[in-house]
Amino acid sequence: MIYCCMMLILQNDSVNMVAPQLAAVFTKLQTLSTSDYASVVSMNIFVALLCACIVIGHLLEENRWMNESITALIIGVFTGVIILLTSGGKSSHLLVFSEDLFFIYLLPPIIFNAGFQVKKKQFFRNFITIMLFGAVFPTTSWRQYTCWSQLNLLMYVFVLPRLIFLVVTGVINFFKEMDIGSLDIGDFLAIGAIFAATDSVCTLQVLNQDETPLLYSLVFGEGVVNDATSVVLFNAIQSFDLVNTSPRILLEFIGSFLYLFLASTMLGVIVGLVSAYIIKKLYFGRHSTDREFALMMLMAYLSYIMAELFYLSGILTVFFCGIVMSHYTWHNVTESSRVTTKHAFATLSFVAETFLFLYVGMDALDMEKWRFVSDSPGTSVAVSAVLMGLVMVGRAAFVFPLSFLSNLAKKSACEKISFREQIIIWWAGLMRGAVSMALAYNQFTRGGHTQLRGNAIMITSTITIVLFSTVFLGSVTKSLIPAGYAQVFGLMTKPLIRFLLPHPKPTASMLSDQSTPKSIEAPFLGSGQDSFDDSLIGVHRPNSIRALLTTPAHTVHYYWRKFDNAFMRPMFGGRGFVPFVPGSPTERSEPNLPQWQ
């Protein structure tokens, strides 16, 4: 705005027309706006790079070594190099990363979208079962589930404690040998929480729902809950004084974790239900797409900041708010609102992720951090290698035993998880990404500086691991899986199809749901997903009904469906409980809405 005439004045100067007072104005303006102008330049470059990432990511989509996260990371690193050379080695930043930027603008859309697009049925079934603690014992009733649903469930229960425990003990033992400066036990626990966050975003860009539906669903379900739980655990660790550990403090810690988890979930569910109720009651017969979309967006964001208000976990809250909104609210709005919300939320999440990867790429070359490390490069490499090794061991330590346990309980070979599959599950979950990065910045750059040697080493190690795991593991996985598809999955493709044949509906909805190819989580949402739910109530074959009545897990789900249909849906709307509102995309069928009276 305020520079608008400076250019002109400069041009006038060149044609020798400038009056003395104009020159004075120019000087004044220039002094005032140098720093502003620099930030305008930075913003321009950053937005242009974001556009470039999207375009190049699209062009490289079929390249088997690349995906959008890797593209953004590499573009970020190249830009960092250029800035570093231009600025004479001073800085590789365009924007200074602030935790606020991440937690206020970038994280909420990513997590909300994950909740909004998750396959609710699988998620809820596992969730309710976990709540009832019936999940721990694999019984014969499990045969009613698909393999991956069971594995998923087991992972929810065991993943985090084990992984964190392994990483933390390993880190403590290793780092005592090395000289990496002042890290206390809180830092070690935080490292455990940081590296527990599997990068669901990057993993899903590497895997493909249609070719490997099992892996895709498994890693996605694990990733989302993993992310959320990591953040919750991380917060719990950060605010406790862990130097003087006692059983009582440990109990309090577990109690606070459970409280956070439950209260955050409840808050998200309540805000989601309120939004469904408001839209159902108020907008009936007089729809307005803009208002509906605005209300959903604002309510989702409100749930996030309300969690902050009540000292809860915003991430869990907004995740469950997304789930409830897609289960109830989404069905109460017009067709255009549905299309708009579905794609707009996915796009916001996509832009936030690209932004983050681009930033991490640039930040990787920040000199300030590397300066502390440069005098002992061996230590830094060793720390990164140790952490990466611990992540691999930690993941192996629960994937293989759990798969073994899960296989024990199964009788037919088709339900068992083959060793090849176990390796892919282990491998695909090794990537660490945006959430790890953000948590590391939060823990180790308090007050905006990385002056302490230990902190600098941890930040550089995190960057190294994120770069290595995303770029190297990501491209290897992407290139291996399609190539090795016949070998790895050929063995189980036929049994899988045979196994899925009695349940043709899920398979069909899974495969027809190709709306936005490669867009991160969009395939999870679709018209197929809820017709899916109904098969449990109406379309049961006799043997299913028998199984339903004899197995506890099915019974819980059955009663939930009954409760949902009897009380929740009539109250809050939902599929089949809201009269169809036409409102086609081009609004051809909505001409009779009441206008101004």
Of 20 and 502, nearer to a second copy (C-beta) is 20
95 binds a second copy (CB under 8 A): no
Interaction residues for a second copy, span 96-115 (CB under 8 A): 103
What is the C-alpha separation between 157 and 148, in angstroms, rounded? 14
For tokens 């375009």, name the residue: 55
Least separation in angstroms between CB 153 and a second copy:
26
Interaction residues for a second copy, span 522-541 (CB under 8 A): 522, 526-527
Contact in structure between 115 and 326 (CB atoms under 8 Å): yes
Binding mask 3-22 for a second copy (x = CB under 8 A): xxxxxxx--x----x-x-xx
Least separation in angstroms between CB 43 and a second copy:
5
The alpha carbon of 170 is separated from its chain's Cα centroid by a whole number of angstroms, namely 27
Least separation in angstroms between CB 52 and a second copy:
10
320 binds a second copy (CB under 8 A): no
Q: 150: how many CB neighbours lie within 10 A of its CB?
A: 24
Least separation in angstroms between CB 420 and a second copy:
19
Interaction residues for a second copy, span 146-205 (CB under 8 A): none
SS3 readout for 523-584: HHCCCHHHHHHHCCCCCCCHHHHHHHHHCHHHHHHHHHHHHHHHHHHHHHCCCCCCCCCCCC
For tokens 């709306």, name the residue: 515
Interaction residues for a second copy, span 286-305 (CB under 8 A): 286, 288-291, 293-295, 297-299, 301-302, 305
50 binds a second copy (CB under 8 A): yes
Where do the H-state alpha helices sit in 328-376?
335-363, 367-374
Interaction residues for a second copy, span 203-242 (CB under 8 A): 208, 210-211, 231-232, 235-236, 238-241
Exposure class string for 353-386: b at 16+ Cβ within 10 A, else e: bbbbbbbbbbbbbbeebbebbeeeeebbebbbeb
Least separation in angstroms between CB 348 and a second copy:
9
27 binds a second copy (CB under 8 A): no
507 binds a second copy (CB under 8 A): no
Least separation in angstroms between CB 214 and a second copy:
16
Interaction residues for a second copy, span 256-275 (CB under 8 A): 256, 259-260
Interaction residues for a second copy, span 543-572 (CB under 8 A): none
Contact in structure between 183 and 458 (CB atoms under 8 Å): yes
What is the C-alpha separation between 177 and 173, in angstroms, rounded? 7
Contact in structure between 46 and 363 (CB atoms under 8 Å): no
For tokens 């001073």, name the residue: 90
Among 121, 331, 338, 557, binds a second copy (CB under 8 A): 338
Interaction residues for a second copy, span 466-495 (CB under 8 A): 482
120 binds a second copy (CB under 8 A): no
Of 37 and 127, nearer to a second copy (C-beta) is 37
Q: Which stretch binds a second copy (CB under 8 A): 89-97, 279-287, 456-464, 571-579?
A: 279-287
Interaction residues for a second copy, span 341-400 (CB under 8 A): 343-344, 346-347, 350-351, 354
The token pair at 229 is 């739980």
Among 335, 363, 366, 533, binds a second copy (CB under 8 A): 335
Residue 198 φ then ψ, to 5°: -65, 140
Rounded to 10 degrees, what is the CA torsion of 131, 499, 209, 405? 50
Least separation in angstroms between CB 377 and a second copy:
33
47 binds a second copy (CB under 8 A): yes
